[in-house]
Amino acid sequence: MKIVTIVGARPQFVKAAAVSRILRGRENVDEILIHTGQHFDANMSQIFFDELGIDEPKYNLGISGGSHGDMTGRMLSGIETVLESERPDWTLIYGDTNSTLAAAIAASKMHIPVAHVEAGLRSFNMKMPEEINRILSDRVSSLLLCPTDIAVQNLADEGITAGVSNVGDVMYDAALHFGRLADQNSDKIIARYGLNPEGFALATCHRAENTDDPVRLEQILRALSQIANDRQVVLPLHPRTRSCIRDLSLGHYLENIVTLDPVPYLEMLWLEKNANLILTDSGGVQKEAFFFKVPCVTMRDETEWVETIDAGWNILAGVQADHIVQAVEDHKINTKLEILPYGNGHAAELISDKLLGL
Ligand code: UDP
């Protein structure tokens, strides 16, 4: 069986690593990787291939930047050309990026079945490019591999039931597997980043809805800077966020914050496990906080990962600075439940079984 997997952005490397590990152990499976090039900085891309043992992509389309339409269009054409020559049995896509949508359109128009990992997630905010990418990708997928029961229900609400199953979350698989490896370099990480042994908060911010809106970005930075008066705040900066902060002259908010370049995944997992608070607008980081039982404040107006909120580990704060600071306080009195809504750490096995028709 031939499977063409399309990846392009940081979270997709993590998810694909979990599944590729399992596919590699299955007989008669030939997995071919296309990297669209959406993320191209070494610390947003190559480091993940090196660290997570992902095979080198057979094709790198080198497509990044430009408007959504321009980027997606160029990817669509590039992916179509590869699919034309490879003619796989499945096209395997992950998540909700422009690479996901381009692959979904290219493959479905060529009548090559599409398997979508992380199907059924919804924020119900059509202003998010990710929401559009998800809905359209799900619509043309034959195998809809959902991470949760709620995702299955979201699809049912849209009338999509064929090919739908809850396989669990591959990011949970990845966090369990790679989390063990992450513990090995503790001393080096503490020294390299000058981490406070009394504890630190870890923050990330990269969603376009936050970085591209000067008011929202300012509020987030103001909150982080305020929190940094009481405890160390460590902020690995996404390249987009760094350039928005520079363009908007908001750098003064970073003076009491430890800012880092994007960190490799194993270091990120270590930082998450050892932080006593996480503040983020990332989907993946919200969940990793939950997996590692670290209280999380989500700096968005809605989240796809509602289970983390229901369980009390995550507070949806919006982006107003005083609301973010208040959410940090609220965590001290919040009840937290021990529930496991994201499967049992074997999502990748179930995904492989589904692809192989087992
Ligand atoms: N991540 C990382 N280094 C960083 C920031 C994030 O390895 O400096 C990892 C993080 O642990 C998670 C994934 O990247 O596994 C999340 O990606 P991102 O926040 O870019 O996207 P999202 O999950 O919001 O789609």
Cβ proximity of 155 and 161 under 8 Å: yes
Nearest atom (ligand 1) to Cα of 207: 24
The CB of 265 under 6 Å from ligand 1? The reply is yes
Nearest atom (ligand 1) to Cα of 261: 8
Can you give the pLDDT at residue 286? 98
The architecture (CATH level 2) of 183-330 comes to 3-Layer(aba) Sandwich (3.40)
The per-residue pLDDT of the chain, averaged, comes to 97
Instruction: Report phi then psi at 135, rounded to 5.
Output: -65, -45
Can you give the pLDDT at residue 135? 98
Can you give the pLDDT at residue 183? 87
Cβ proximity of 272 and 292 under 8 Å: yes
Tens digits of residue pLDDT in 22-61: 999 999 999 999 999 999 999 999 999 999 999 999 999 9
Mean pLDDT by 10 residues, the chain (358 residues): 97 97 96 96 93 95 95 98 98 98 98 98 96 98 98 98 98 96 86 93 97 98 98 97 98 98 96 97 98 98 98 98 98 94 98 97
- Å from CA of 284 to ligand 1 middle: 6
Distance separating the N- and C-terminal Cα atoms of the chain: 13
* 192, 202, 210, 285, best to mutate for ligand 1 pocket (most atoms within 8 Å of CB): 285
The CB of 262 under 6 Å from ligand 1? The reply is yes
HSE, side-chain direction, 13 A CA sphere, residue 54: 30
Can you give the pLDDT at residue 184? 84
- Å from CA of 240 to ligand 1 middle: 13
How is residue 141 written in tokens? 């997928």
d(CA 210, CA 106): 30
Q: Which residue has tokens 């809809």? A: 144
The CB of 345 under 6 Å from ligand 1? The reply is no
Can you give the pLDDT at residue 229? 97
Q: Does domain 2-169+343-355 have CATH number 3.40.50.2000?
A: yes
The candidate with the shortest Cα–Cα distance to 57, out of 42, 37, 73, is 37
Q: Is 206 a catalytic residue?
A: yes
CB proximity list for 179: less than 8 A, separation 6 or greater: 269, 273, 291, 292
Tens digits of residue pLDDT in 72-124: 999 999 999 999 999 999 999 999 999 999 999 999 999 999 999 999 999 99
Give bridge partners of residue 235 from the DSSP assignment: 259
Topology match between the domains 2-169+343-355 and 183-330: yes
Can you give the pLDDT at residue 287? 98
- Å from CA of 27 to ligand 1 middle: 31
**What are the domain boundaries of the chain?**
2-169+343-355, 183-330
Can you give the pLDDT at residue 187? 81
Nearest atom (ligand 1) to Cα of 236: 8
Instruction: Residue 104: count other Cβ atoms within 10 Å of its Cβ.
Output: 25
* 282, 287, 304, best to mutate for ligand 1 pocket (most atoms within 8 Å of CB): 282
d(CA 89, CA 275): 43
pTM: 0.97
The CB of 282 under 6 Å from ligand 1? The reply is yes
